[in-house]
Amino acid sequence: MKIDQPWLNDKATQKVCSVLTDAGAEALFVGGCVRNALLEAPVSDMDIATNIEPRHVMDLAKAAGIKAIPTGIDHGTVTLVERGIPHEITTFRKDVATDGRRAVVVFSKDIAEDAKRRDFTMNALYARPDGTVVDPLGGITDLRARRVRFIGTAEHRIREDYLRSLRFFRFHAWYGDHDEGFDANGLAAIAANLDGLEGLSRERVGAELLKLLAAADPAPAVAAMRHCGVLGVILPGSDDRALAPLVHLEGGMAPDGIRRLAALGGEDVAERLRLSKAQAAALEDLRKEAAGTKGPRELGYHLGAARARDTLLLRAALLEQPPAPGSETEISKGAEASFPLKARDLMPDLQGPDLGKAMKRLEGEWIASGFTLSRDELIARAKG
Ligand code: ATP
Ligand code: MG
């Protein structure tokens, strides 16, 4: 079996692979890029695995005039930059110690050892530079059935790294068969090992959950997370009832993790998931304004068209009522509106804090007028 993808034939990528194969070493694409190529899904990043040690990879690259950066040389990864494009090459590895969060690894020459330390059978697929698929653990059968299945004993694999419990739901949301449902054995093992989730770093949990929520339809996976107790541990106080209605109301618009996260609610969400400042602010606006009563035009004015639309969808999902017809036009009007009064229009009669207060009051009156008061009318009101 072969994959055929434009990135496989890229000159820079082929050159990087030849540096390894010309020296008699392996160069194998691995993980998401092979899985997605077989599923005919878009490929975002590609990883290359090899059977020689990172120092040796560095030496071969330098001899071939390719820039080599020891990005993560201790755990096996070096980056080769050819034609300005970075390629990550990672030596086959095997875990020698795990603590539920991170692993101590040693390098290996054996592809089967490298495959066995990966999480799911569909993620342990490799491809040679000519596209020939190498499948050391029989992952293709599971991939064809869109079955997310742990490699080895689910319980052991979860205890080695509890993030795998969240990845199980992520990959199911993206690539699983929704009619078939979840692998029962995997689900049971996850439910029996909830306590380890608390020890994961908040960044890893946050990044993983946002990736899950960016799937076309994450609602079944999130419902399963609630059933087996995972959701309650990572997002206490959350409620996924509004998620499926939200996805339905979105009607195929581009998925947005923060919009979906806002539908779940919960306590100290930004803190628990280590969201960026911008993400935390967007989440807070969404929660607050969806629970409020501002109309579409005012939301458009305050939040801009995209977030106003998100707010109305979220409000509709929470209230189980579709947004009022004509909302879209109203949002655009609000987003395009600009307050006609400038501070200097009120000077020098008003100064300092009084000026600020008057501007705020008049902006409120202008919004309440349906954005109709003119500059002159506002100046007259300031004086009156
Ligand atoms: P994506 O398209 O989202 O990047 P991916 O499969 O490439 O999907 P990554 O998180 O980039 O996912 O990981 C790359 C590969 O590394 C996976 O396909 C899997 O083989 C392995 N992997 C990553 N994280 C883990 C983990 N926690 N435990 C075991 N294997 C893992
Ligand atoms: Mg990846």
CA atoms of 103 and 3, how far apart (whole Å): 31
* Residues 34-90 pLDDT 10s: 999 999 999 988 999 999 999 999 999 999 999 999 999 999 999 999 999 999 999
pLDDT of residue 13: 95
pLDDT category at 180 given cuts 50, 70, 90 is confident
* Residues 150-179 pLDDT 10s: 999 999 999 999 999 999 999 999 999 988
**Percentages (nearest 5) of helix, strand, coil residues in the chain:** 55, 10, 35
Given a cut of 80, is residue 103 above it in pLDDT? yes
Q: Where does a domain end: 199, 216, 234? A: 234
Q: Which atom of ligand 1 is nearest to the CA of 167?
A: 27
Residue nearest to atom 18 of ligand 1 (CA): 31
Residues 6+ apart with CB under 8 A from 198: 233
Q: Residue 32 C-alpha to ligand 1 middle, in angstroms?
A: 7
* Residues 280-309 pLDDT 10s: 999 999 999 999 999 999 999 999 999 999
Residues 194/222/101/45 CA torsion (nearest 10 deg): 160
One domain for residues 328 and 360: no
CA atoms of 115 and 93, how far apart (whole Å): 9
List CB-based neighbours of ion ligand 2 within 5 Å: 32, 45
The number of helices, as runs of H, and strands, as runs of E, in the chain is 20, 9
Q: Is 208 in the pocket of ligand 1 (CB under 6 A)?
A: no
pLDDT category at 243 given cuts 50, 70, 90 is very high
Given a cut of 80, is residue 136 above it in pLDDT? yes
pLDDT of residue 252: 87
pLDDT of residue 179: 87
Q: Residue 362 C-alpha to ligand 2 middle, in angstroms?
A: 51
Q: Residue 29 C-alpha to ligand 1 middle, in angstroms?
A: 13
Q: Is 74 in the pocket of ligand 1 (CB under 6 A)?
A: no
Residue 330: CB atoms within 10 Å: 19
> DSSP string spanning 25-47?
---EEETHHHHHHHHT------E
Q: What is the DSSP letter of 126?
A: E
**176 with 148: CB under 8 angstroms?**
yes
Q: Residue 88 C-alpha to ligand 2 middle, in angstroms?
A: 11
| Residue among 291, 172, 332, 163 nearest 233 (CA) | 163
One domain for residues 347 and 303: no
One domain for residues 318 and 269: yes
* Residues 195-218 pLDDT 10s: 999 999 999 999 999 999 999 999
Residue 312: CB atoms within 10 Å: 25
Q: What are the C-alpha distances in Å from 84 to residues 12, 73, 275?
A: 9, 20, 31
CA torsion sign for 303, 307, 313, 318 is negative
Given a cut of 90, is residue 316 above it in pLDDT? yes
pLDDT category at 329 given cuts 50, 70, 90 is very high
One domain for residues 126 and 49: yes
At 363, list the tokens: 């902006």
Q: Where does a domain end: 192, 207, 234? A: 234
Q: Is 45 in the pocket of ligand 1 (CB under 6 A)?
A: yes
pLDDT of residue 120: 98
> Domain limits at 364?
339-383
Q: Is 161 in the pocket of ligand 1 (CB under 6 A)?
A: yes
Q: Is 54 in the pocket of ligand 1 (CB under 6 A)?
A: no
Given a cut of 80, is residue 384 above it in pLDDT? no
Q: Is 32 in the pocket of ligand 1 (CB under 6 A)?
A: yes
At 289, list the tokens: 């304004």
One domain for residues 138 and 93: yes
pLDDT of residue 365: 95
User: What is the number of structural domains in the chain?
Assistant: 4
pLDDT category at 358 given cuts 50, 70, 90 is very high
Ligand nearest to the CA of 158: 1
* Residues 105-118 pLDDT 10s: 999 999 999 999 99
Residue nearest to atom 1 of ligand 1 (CA): 32
Report the Cα–Cα distance between both ends of the chain, in Å, rounded: 81
Residues 6+ apart with CB under 8 A from 162: 100, 101, 193, 196, 197, 199, 200
Q: Residue 30 C-alpha to ligand 2 middle, in angstroms?
A: 9
One domain for residues 35 and 126: yes
Q: Where does a domain end: 144, 177, 196? A: 144
What CATH number corresponds to the domain at position 221? 1.10.3090.10
Given a cut of 90, is residue 17 above it in pLDDT? yes
Letter string b/e over residues 132-143, b meaning 16 or more CB atoms within 10 A of that residue's CB: ebbbebebbebb
Question: Phi and psi at residue 45, in whole multiples of 5°?
Answer: -135, 155
Residue nearest to atom 30 of ligand 1 (CA): 118
CA atoms of 71 and 47, how far apart (whole Å): 14
Given a cut of 80, is residue 98 above it in pLDDT? yes
| Residue among 162, 167, 286 nearest 221 (CA) | 167
Q: Residue 22 C-alpha to ligand 2 middle, in angstroms?
A: 26
Residue nearest to atom 21 of ligand 1 (CA): 118
One domain for residues 189 and 316: no
One domain for residues 165 and 261: no
Q: Residue 139 C-alpha to ligand 1 middle, in angstroms?
A: 14
Q: Residue 46 C-alpha to ligand 2 middle, in angstroms?
A: 6
Mutate to test the pocket of ligand 1, among 44, 95, 118, 210 (most ligand atoms within 8 A of CB): 118
One domain for residues 32 and 132: yes
One domain for residues 174 and 199: yes
Q: Is 164 in the pocket of ligand 1 (CB under 6 A)?
A: yes
Q: What percentage of the chain has pLDDT greater than the value 70? A: 100
Residues 6+ apart with CB under 8 A from 16: 27, 48, 61, 66, 80, 82, 87, 89
Q: Which atom of ligand 1 is nearest to the CA of 170?
A: 3
One domain for residues 132 and 194: no
Question: Phi and psi at residue 80, in whole multiples of 5°?
Answer: -105, 125
Average pLDDT over all residues of the chain: 95
Residues in the chain: 384
Determine the average pLDDT of the residues in 82-101: 93
Q: Is 38 in the pocket of ligand 1 (CB under 6 A)?
A: no
One domain for residues 53 and 182: no
Q: Residue 68 C-alpha to ligand 2 middle, in angstroms?
A: 20
**270 with 279: CB under 8 angstroms?**
yes
- Report the half-sphere exposure of 148 (CA within 13 A, side-chain side): 21
Residue nearest to atom 11 of ligand 1 (CA): 32
Q: Residue type for 368, please?
A: A
**29 with 47: CB under 8 angstroms?**
yes
pLDDT of residue 3: 96
